């Protein structure tokens, strides 16, 4: 199938959007978004209709040229991107008619470019091409953050850009070392040539440090809360839902496929420790917040920590089919968690956006009793919140279940403790909001009762994302089948 | 023996110059030293048999980046003085830096000799060069073998330009006029210089684009010179360039990206792989793409320079 | 064959030193402009490393792939620098600017 279309079509849509003016901007933007959605669906579904695919760009395959590869994991992330992006587009479209926090017309072209970068990143099979995709993604995100024009957003954008550049340079240094030692940039070919050694460890470390900085792992997370909280809500949804997952996706590819076997338990435990610190610290900060969007942003820091709990399990000593099972389970859990978190977090930010649009601010004190007036917001927040806490049945629950199972079976049970603590703390800050929304009888602030009606599209977008995130937990068999299609941690596996 | 000595001296100077550019007490001085560092770096690239990179580093790395910093230095000097770290902290960081440098050097010593056996892709490039449509290997890699990277790179320029314009609250280029008013006072030296240099830069840029097929040069180097011409005219006070039709400007800025997109569509429809050159037409098509890219690069770099100034 | 006396070693070591210097400069930077400048030096140091890699066989033809990578990297770096400087200048010009 036409894999490049997944990158070319969104980019073309963005270019067209640059020329549109006035009310055509969102019309062209919506048309472009629809085309991108359709393309993503066609490409992703070809993964299970026709099986995994490899596309040689410019007709030159690896190692001279750049290959695009589609497997189950890539297809799953393409769909995640398409779903979140589509609902964000619905939100942004409706927001133009909303009372406040309207979405400027400049949003649409940058949104398309971000989408193109994400798709390209998920499909790319070349180490340096991934660097360029990351830069494209970062610069689009920076422009999107700048849409809010507030001083805090500009500061957040500058810190984000600085951190991202630092990460990119670390990654680039890793690319240089890898190429100098192995002479190719193609991920598949590298995985055949790389064996565990000191130099492999150095290459992987450099690549990983750069990517960890971009995934905002504690203690390199400092840039995230401000950038995500101060952007306009659809942008926050894209950032927390998709952009931070992209660097984690690359990490997964590198750890599982290219540098398989180069990672020791010590490194895995170190990352598990950092992940635990992220879970705990992020949750504490989230509980302390008085406004919704910063709370959700800190929640992102916390939830991203869960992804790294897969590493102690995946690197624990063990061989044979039993060990392979729980290693695969650990990675499947992390991937599933990433997917459902992307959906749920995007939903939360869109709900927050609907709230701001209606009430004018996202102070948690003002959500008292809003379930009556802003039903859609309340339900979406509730459903997405359930996913975040990890209650069954939801994708979040399933992801955590797999992760914990893998940790216990591999003997790394100690990491289950921060996971459980994190779940508890997540419940605290989620239910704090839900309790006030649903159960509060009267409003504390006399002026808070006034809610303006919110365009239906905004609430629907948030709701759809929340529901899908829960559905991920209800269809485990199909979903895991998708993830395993020719994936490194499917039953085929690397090695 | 002698050439080794020259490289040793050059590399030492490079490090010394880089170090002095990193003294931030006087921002203006740091920027000027950085430009010098970039030019010396271009010399190093020549020594490394990379004339294409030398051109790019001189034009873009030292030239455009230096221009951006110089223009910014005024604003940023005023806002400077956030914090000055304490002496003990500085020493610790310096020590850490020394450790890092030693570590990396050791790693290089460990890795690079063994890597020499892995030839990299030189041989493959050489084998496929005849079908590439150009005879310069670096241009072949950029515009043919790894053209996807190049297209994305053009997209990065476009996105950077768009993002910069967002900070002006709009994509409309004429709002940049307020930051670049028509030349008010007499600046005879700048005017004379610009009058001479702008056409030179344009001519040299065009030449480099065409030269890239058979020698050092190419779309990026030529485009950077075109961008330099654009920046010169901005400094000269030709802000009214932005009064030109918005669509015209945008069209030139997106020309590179669009040219590649059209090319992809064409190759896809014909049944070849996306971006795959048909045999025989490779040279011509590649040149056409390079011309479109160079124009885009020139315009985009000029707008990037212009948009860096906060409005009004 | 790579000899220790091949000139590219000087540049490889220089790139390591410059990387460390720019990292130190970044951490010790007093303000945003200094950080951006440090990042630029860091970028050029890494590119220089790629250059050394492209000439690791001093007696043979240079490897064009790292050189192409560096050209791409230079363009990406200037794009990022331009955006970063635009952001920094906005912050500088709007001390205590709008918060609405």
Residue B214: DSSP 8-state: T
User: Any chain B CB within 8 A of the CB of A136?
Assistant: yes
CB within 8 Å: A150 and C50: no
Give the whole-angstrom CA distance, residue A207 versus residue A188: 16
Q: Are B267 and B276 in contact (CB under 8 A)?
A: yes
Residues A17-44: pLDDT tens digits? Answer: 999 887 888 899 999 999 999 999 999 8
pLDDT value at position A493? 39
**Cis peptide leading into C4, omega within 30 of 0?**
no
Q: Which residues contact B58 (CB under 8 A, 6 or more apart)?
A: B38, B39, B42
Distance CA A455, CA A27 (A): 17
Return the partners of chain C (3 or more C-beta pairs < 8 Å).
Answer: A, B
> Which residues of C have a CB under 8 Å from any CB of A?
19, 26, 32, 35-36, 39, 42-43, 46, 49-50, 53, 56, 65-66, 69, 72-73, 76, 79-80, 83-84, 87-88, 90-91, 94, 97-100
* Chain segment A80-123, per-residue pLDDT in tens: 999 999 999 999 988 876 656 578 888 999 999 999 999 999 99
Q: What is the mean pLDDT of residues B288-296?
A: 95
- CB-nearest to A15 from B121, B247, B257 is B257
Segment A290-334, tens digit of pLDDT: 888 999 999 999 999 999 888 888 777 666 677 777 778 888 888
Q: Which residues of B touch C93 (CB under 8 A)?
A: 75, 79, 310
Q: Which of B11, B76, B137 sits opposite C11 (nearest CB)?
A: B11
**If pLDDT is split at 50, 70 and 90, which confidence band does A491 have?**
very low
CA dihedral B146, B149, B153, B158 (to 10 degrees): 110
Interface pTM, i.e. ipTM:
0.93
**3-state secondary structure (DSSP) of residue A427:** helix
Which residues in C lie closer than 8 A to residue B142 (C-beta atoms)? Answer: 68, 71-72
Tell me the pLDDT band of A1, cut-offs 50, 70 and 90: low
Question: Which residue matches tokens 């729980």?
Answer: A326
Candidates B8, B57, B146; nearest CB to C10 = B8
Cβ(A69)–Cβ(A186) below 8 Å: no
Interface probe for A, chosen from C26, C69, C85 (most Cβ of A below 10 Å), is C69
CB-based burial label for A188 (10 Å; 0-12, 13-18, 19+): middle
Predicted pLDDT at C98: 41
Residues B231, B67: Cα–Cα separation, whole Å: 8
Q: Does A151 touch chain B (CB under 8 A)?
A: no
Q: Give the one of C32, C62, C81 whose C-beta lies nearest to B68's C-beta.
A: C81
- Across the A:C interface, residue pairs with CB atoms under 8 Å apart total 71
Residue of chain B whose Cα is closest to the Cα of A179: B120
- Mean pLDDT for chain B overall: 85
Instruction: Say whether A139 and C91 touch across the interface (CB within 8 A).
Output: no
Spell out which residues of chain C touch residue B18, defining contact as CB-CB under 8 Å.
Answer: 18, 21-22, 41, 45
Q: How far apart are CA B288 and CA B266, in angstroms?
A: 14
A199 in reach of chain B (CB within 8 A) = yes
Q: What is the pLDDT of residue B79?
A: 65
> Rounded to a whole number, what is the distance in Å from the CA of B9 to chain A's nearest CA?
25
Mean predicted confidence (pLDDT) in B16-40: 93
pLDDT of residue C96: 38
Q: Is the pLDDT of residue A58 over 80?
A: yes
Contacts of C27 in chain B (CB under 8 A): 93
Name the more confident of B190 and A12: A12
Cis before A438 (ω within 30): no
Measure C31 CA to nearest chain A CA, in Å: 12
Interface contact B24-C80, CB threshold 8 A? no
Is a pLDDT exceeding 80 seen at residue A426?
yes
- Would you call B277 an interface residue with chain A, using a CB distance cutoff of 8 Å? yes
**Digit-coded pLDDT (tens) for B119-170:** 667 777 888 887 777 888 899 999 999 999 999 999 999 999 999 988 887 7
**pTM for this structure?**
0.94
Instruction: Name the 3-class secondary structure at A70.
Output: strand
- A163–chain C nearest CA distance, Å: 10
Strands A67-70 and A53-56: antiparallel
Cβ within 8 Å, pair C87-B310: no
Collect all residues of chain A within an 8 Å Cβ-Cβ radius of residue B147.
57-58
Instruction: Please state, in angstroms and rounded to a whole number, the distance separating the CA atoms of residues A244 and A232.
Output: 17
């Amino acid at each position: 199938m036409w894999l490049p279309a997944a990158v070319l079509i969104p980019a073309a849509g963005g270019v067209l959007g640059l020329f549109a003016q006035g009310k055509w901007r969102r019309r062209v933007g919506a048309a472009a978004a629809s085309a991108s959605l359709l393309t993503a669906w066609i490409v992703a579904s070809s993964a299970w209709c026709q099986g995994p695919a490899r596309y040689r760009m410019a007709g030159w395959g690896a190692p001279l040229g750049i290959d695009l590869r589609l497997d189950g994991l890539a297809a799953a992330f393409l769909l995640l991107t398409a779903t979140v992006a589509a609902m964000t587009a619905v939100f942004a479209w409706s927001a133009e008619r909303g009372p406040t926090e309207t979405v400027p017309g400049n949003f649409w072209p940058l949104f398309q470019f971000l989408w193109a970068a994400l798709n390209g990143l998920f499909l790319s099979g070349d180490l340096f091409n991934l660097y360029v995709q990351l830069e494209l993604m970062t610069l689009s995100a920076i422009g999107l953050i700048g849409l809010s024009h507030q001083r805090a957003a500009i500061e957040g954008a500058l810190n984000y850009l600085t951190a991202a550049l630092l990460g990119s340079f670390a990654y680039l240094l890793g690319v240089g070392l890898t190429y100098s030692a192995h002479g190719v940039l193609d991920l598949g070919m590298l995985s055949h040539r790389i064996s565990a050694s000191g130099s492999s460890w150095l290459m992987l470390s450099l690549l990983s440090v750069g990517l960890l900085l971009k995934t905002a792992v504690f203690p390199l997370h400092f840039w995230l809360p401000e950038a995500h909280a101060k952007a306009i809500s659809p942008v926050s949804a894209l950032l927390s839902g998709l952009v931070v997952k992209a660097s984690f996706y690359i990490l997964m590819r590198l750890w599982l496929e290219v540098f398989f076997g180069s990672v020791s338990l010590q490194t895995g435990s170190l990352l598990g420790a950092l992940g635990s610190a992220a879970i705990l610290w992020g949750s504490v900060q989230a509980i302390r917040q008085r406004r919704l969007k910063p709370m959700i942003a800190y929640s992102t820091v916390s939830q991203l920590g869960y992804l790294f709990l897969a590493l102690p399990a995946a690197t624990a000593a063990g061989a044979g089919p039993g060990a392979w099972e729980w290693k695969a389970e650990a990675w499947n859990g992390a991937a599933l968690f990433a997917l459902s978190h992307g959906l749920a977090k995007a939903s939360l930010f869109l709900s927050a956006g609907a709230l701001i649009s209606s009430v004018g601010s996202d102070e948690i004190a003002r959500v008292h009793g809003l379930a009556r007036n802003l039903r859609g917001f309340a339900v979406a927040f509730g459903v997405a919140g359930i996913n975040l806490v990890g209650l069954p049945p939801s994708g979040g629950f399933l992801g955590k279940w797999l992760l914990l199972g893998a940790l216990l079976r591999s003997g790394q049970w100690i990491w289950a403790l921060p996971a459980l603590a994190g779940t508890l703390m997540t419940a605290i800050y989620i239910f704090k909001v839900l309790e006030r929304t649903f159960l509060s009888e009267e409003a504390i602030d006399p002026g808070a009762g006034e809610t303006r009606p919110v365009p239906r599209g905004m609430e629907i977008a948030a709701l759809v994302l929340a529901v899908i995130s829960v559905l991920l937990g209800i269809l485990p068999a199909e979903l895991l089948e998708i993830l395993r299609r020719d994936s490194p941690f499917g039953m085929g596996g690397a090695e | 023996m002698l050439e080794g000595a020259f490289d040793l001296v050059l590399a030492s100077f490079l490090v010394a110059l880089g170090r002095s550019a990193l003294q931030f007490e006087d921002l203006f001085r740091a920027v000027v030293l950085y430009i010098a560092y970039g030019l010396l770096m271009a010399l190093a690239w020549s020594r490394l048999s990379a004339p294409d990179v030398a051109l790019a580093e001189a034009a873009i790395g030292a030239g455009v980046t230096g221009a951006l910093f110089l223009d910014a230095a005024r604003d940023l000097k005023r806002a400077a003085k956030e914090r000055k770290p304490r002496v003990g902290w500085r020493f610790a960081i310096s020590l850490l830096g020394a450790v890092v440098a030693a570590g990396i050097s050791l790693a290089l010593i460990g890795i690079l000799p063994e890597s020499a056996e892995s030839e990299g892709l030189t041989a493959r490039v050489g084998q496929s060069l005849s079908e590439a449509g150009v005879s310069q290997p670096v241009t072949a890699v950029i515009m043919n073998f790894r053209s996807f990277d190049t297209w994305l790179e053009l997209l990065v320029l476009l996105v950077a330009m768009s993002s910069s314009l967002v900070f002006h609250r709009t994509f409309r280029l004429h709002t940049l006029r307020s930051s670049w008013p028509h030349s008010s006072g007499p600046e005879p030296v700048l005017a004379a210089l610009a009058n001479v240099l702008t056409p030179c830069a344009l001519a040299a840029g065009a030449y480099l684009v065409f030269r890239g097929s058979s020698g050092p040069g190419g779309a990026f180097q030529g485009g950077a010179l075109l961008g330099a011409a654009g920046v010169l005219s901005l400094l000269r006070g030709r802000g009214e360039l932005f009064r030109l039709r918005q669509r015209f400007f945008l069209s030139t800025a997106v020309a590179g990206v669009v040219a590649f997109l059209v090319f992809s569509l064409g190759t896809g429809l014909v049944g070849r792989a996306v971006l795959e050159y048909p045999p025989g037409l490779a040279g011509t098509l590649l040149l056409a793409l390079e011309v479109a890219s160079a124009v885009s690069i020139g315009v985009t770099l000029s707008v990037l320079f212009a948009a860096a100034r906060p409005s009004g | 064959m790579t000899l220790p006396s091949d000139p590219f070693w000087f540049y490889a070591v220089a790139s390591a030193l410059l990387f460390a210097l720019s990292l130190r400069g970044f951490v010790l930077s007093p303000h945003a402009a200094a950080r951006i400048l440090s990042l630029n030096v860091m970028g050029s140091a890494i590119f220089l490393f790629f250059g050394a890699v492209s000439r690791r066989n001093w007696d043979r033809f240079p490897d064009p792939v790292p050189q192409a990578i560096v050209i791409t990297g230079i363009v990406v770096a200037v794009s990022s620098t331009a955006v970063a400087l635009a952001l920094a200048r906005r912050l500088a010009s709007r001390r205590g600017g709008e918060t609405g």
